């Protein structure tokens, strides 16, 4: 492994970092704060909170996340490879802590959070970043053996499968699915044999189907997705109300602050279904524009990956930008009724601290990678 020859912390990286990714990040944060403020009093009322409590909490999340993004923009990304094992084992430890009574927090059927009294943290969000760092490291380290399934692909696959299994026990299927998607893209980008990639996919699909079909509420979500109007006041309610919001918005929207669906009609309007409210208020035009901004973010991230000369940085950048845009794409597809409703946030826009913080850290690492690309003469 190459040693880090530059300083660990370099404030000048802010000037050299990719400006497109940097400014788009703040655009997303701004959009999120605007719509969280618009939804706050209705969502707060439903949760017996002060009218603006949710907005102020999100503002605090945004403040901390921005600081974290700026810190990791200036922290040499190569240090993550030096401490890859501690990062990975810390993620496993945190995932297991949620099962400790009195420490782990359970909401509904999901037990995904560590209760710190003043705030809760979802360690599976950290596990996503830890796995991307680990996979980038191991695929570069074993580049010459990556075509060999037993010595190249199998060891990291077993570790990913272990993490996926623990997350499933927490009822975090959507998070596990994102991890699997990102893993396959990184395996492909890391130079694995296409024969091995497709073979793994063929083996993974039955496992995912069993993970869905053997759990009643996951099975119900799939059936509701296929026909939400079969149970419009029950399992199909969220999908129907989200589609109503999209339809109500038309092409130009009903105007900022004028959403009807956010008024106690659409559950999770400030979290998983905030995209439906954005489209209702800004119309198809606003929805397509937001989709275009995420696409721009993705293409800019790919450009960083392609231009990075360091193999580890190249694969790490690819994994991080894939993670962020997979989040965005899945959230939008769920809101449009193209996927069953499940807990996937809209990056930097949905209410919540854990995902916001970890995706901001991912953005900071991506920006630091971009700052190490040699300038053209």
How far is it, in rounded angstroms, from Cα 290 to Cα 325?
12
Rounded to 10 deg, the angle between the 173-189 and 311-335 helix axes is 140
Total count of residues recorded for the chain:
377
Q: How far is CA 316 from the centre of its chain?
A: 15
CA dihedral angle for residue 40, residue 43, residue 48, residue 52, rounded to 10 degrees: 0
How far is it, in rounded angstroms, from Cα 85 to Cα 147?
23
- pLDDT of residue 340 exceeding 90, the answer is no
Residue with tokens 């991307």: 132
Alpha helices by DSSP H, the chain = 13-16, 19-46, 53-74, 79-82, 84-97, 123-141, 154-169, 173-189, 194-213, 216-226, 237-249, 274-307, 311-335, 354-371
How far is it, in rounded angstroms, from Cα 146 to Cα 191?
7
299 domain-assigned:
yes
Q: How far is CA 141 from the centre of its chain?
A: 26
6 domain-assigned:
no
- The answer to whether the beta carbons of residues 35 and 278 sit under 8 Å apart is yes
- The answer to whether the beta carbons of residues 39 and 265 sit under 8 Å apart is no
How far is it, in rounded angstroms, from Cα 201 to Cα 217?
24
Phi-psi region of 276 (alpha: psi -120 to 50; beta: other; left: phi over 0): alpha
How far is it, in rounded angstroms, from Cα 320 to Cα 142?
20
- The answer to whether the beta carbons of residues 341 and 238 sit under 8 Å apart is yes
- What average pLDDT does the segment 275-299 reach? 97
Which residues does 179 contact at the CB level (< 8 Å), separation at least 6? 127, 128, 131, 160, 163, 164, 167
Q: 69: which strand partners?
A: none
Q: How many domains, in total, are found in the chain?
A: 1
Compute the Cα dihedral for 70, 71, 75, 81 and give only its sign: negative
Instruction: Kindly indicate the confidence band of residue 27, based on its pLDDT and cuts at 50, 70 and 90.
Output: very high
53 domain-assigned:
yes
- HSE-up of residue 92 (Cα within 13 Å, Cβ side): 13
- HSE-up of residue 20 (Cα within 13 Å, Cβ side): 13
Amino acid 46: pLDDT: 53
pLDDT-wise least confident of 140-154, 156-170, 243-257, 349-363: 140-154
286 domain-assigned:
yes
How far is it, in rounded angstroms, from Cα 211 to Cα 78?
36
% of the chain exceeding 70 in pLDDT: 94
Q: How far is CA 261 from the centre of its chain?
A: 25
2 domain-assigned:
no
**How far, in Å, are 34, 245, 296, 333 from residue 25 at the CA level?**
14, 26, 11, 21
Burial class for 254, CB neighbours closer than 10 Å (0-12, 13-18, 19+): middle
- The answer to whether the beta carbons of residues 131 and 164 sit under 8 Å apart is no
- pLDDT of residue 297 exceeding 70, the answer is yes
Residue with tokens 């899945």: 330
Which residues does 30 contact at the CB level (< 8 Å), separation at least 6? none
- The answer to whether the beta carbons of residues 139 and 190 sit under 8 Å apart is yes
DSSP letter, residue 117: S
376 domain-assigned:
no
Amino acid 2: pLDDT: 47
- pLDDT of residue 5 exceeding 80, the answer is no
7 domain-assigned:
no
Q: Encode pLDDT of 108-148 as tens digits.
A: 667 788 888 777 889 999 999 999 999 999 999 887 777 77
DSSP letter, residue 144: G
Amino acid 173: pLDDT: 79
Amino acid 350: pLDDT: 95
Q: Encode pLDDT of 70-103 as tens digits.
A: 999 999 999 999 999 999 999 999 999 998 888 8
Question: Of 1-5, 35-39, 277-281, which has the strongest mean pLDDT?
Answer: 277-281
% of the chain exceeding 90 in pLDDT: 51
Instruction: Kindly indicate the confidence band of residue 42, based on its pLDDT and cuts at 50, 70 and 90.
Output: confident
- pLDDT of residue 282 exceeding 80, the answer is yes
- pLDDT of residue 3 exceeding 50, the answer is no
107 domain-assigned:
yes
Amino acid 171: pLDDT: 73
The whole-chain average pLDDT of the chain stands at 87
Instruction: Quote the domain boundaries for residue 95.
Output: 13-371
């Amino acid at each position: 492994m190459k040693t880090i020859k530059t300083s660990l912390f370099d404030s000048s990286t802010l000037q050299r970092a990719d400006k497109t990714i940097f400014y788009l990040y703040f655009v997303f944060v701004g959009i999120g704060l605007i719509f969280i403020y618009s939804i706050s009093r209705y969502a707060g009322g439903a949760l017996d909170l002060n009218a603006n409590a949710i907005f102020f909490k999100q503002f605090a999340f945004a403040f901390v996340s921005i600081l974290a993004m700026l810190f990791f923009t200036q922290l040499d990304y190569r240090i993550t490879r030096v401490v890859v094992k501690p990062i990975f084992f810390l993620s496993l430890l945190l995932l297991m802590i949620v099962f400790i009574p009195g420490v782990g927090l359970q909401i509904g059927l999901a037990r995904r959070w560590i209760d710190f009294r003043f705030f809760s943290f979802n360690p599976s969000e950290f596990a996503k970043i830890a796995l991307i760092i680990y996979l980038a490291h191991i695929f570069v380290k074993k580049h010459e053996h990556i075509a060999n399934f037993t010595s190249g692909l199998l060891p990291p696959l077993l570790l990913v499968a272990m993490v996926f299994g623990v997350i499933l026990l927490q009822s975090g299927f959507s998070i596990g699915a994102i991890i699997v998607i990102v893993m396959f893209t990184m395996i492909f980008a890391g130079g694995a044999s296409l024969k091995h990639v497709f073979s793994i996919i063929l083996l993974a699909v039955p496992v995912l189907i069993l993970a869905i079909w053997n759990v009643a509420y996951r099975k119900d979500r799939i059936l509701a997705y296929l026909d939400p109007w079969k149970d419009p006041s029950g399992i199909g309610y969220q999908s129907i109300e989200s589609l109503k919001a999209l339809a109500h918005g038309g092409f130009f929207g009903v105007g900022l602050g004028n959403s009807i669906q956010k008024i106690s009609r659409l559950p999770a309007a400030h979290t998983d279904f905030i995209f439906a409210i954005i489209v209702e208020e800004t119309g198809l035009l606003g929805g397509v524009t937001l989709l275009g901004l995420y696409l721009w973010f993705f293409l800019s991230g790919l450009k960083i990956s392609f231009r990075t000369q360091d193999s580890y940085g190249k694969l790490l950048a690819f994994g991080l930008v894939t993670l962020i845009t997979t989040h965005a794409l899945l959230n939008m597809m769920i809101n449009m009724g193209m996927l069953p409703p499940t807990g996937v946030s809209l990056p930097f826009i949905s209410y919540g601290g854990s995902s916001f913080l970890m995706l901001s850290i991912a953005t900071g690492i991506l920006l630091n990678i971009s700052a190490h690309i040699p300038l053209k003469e």
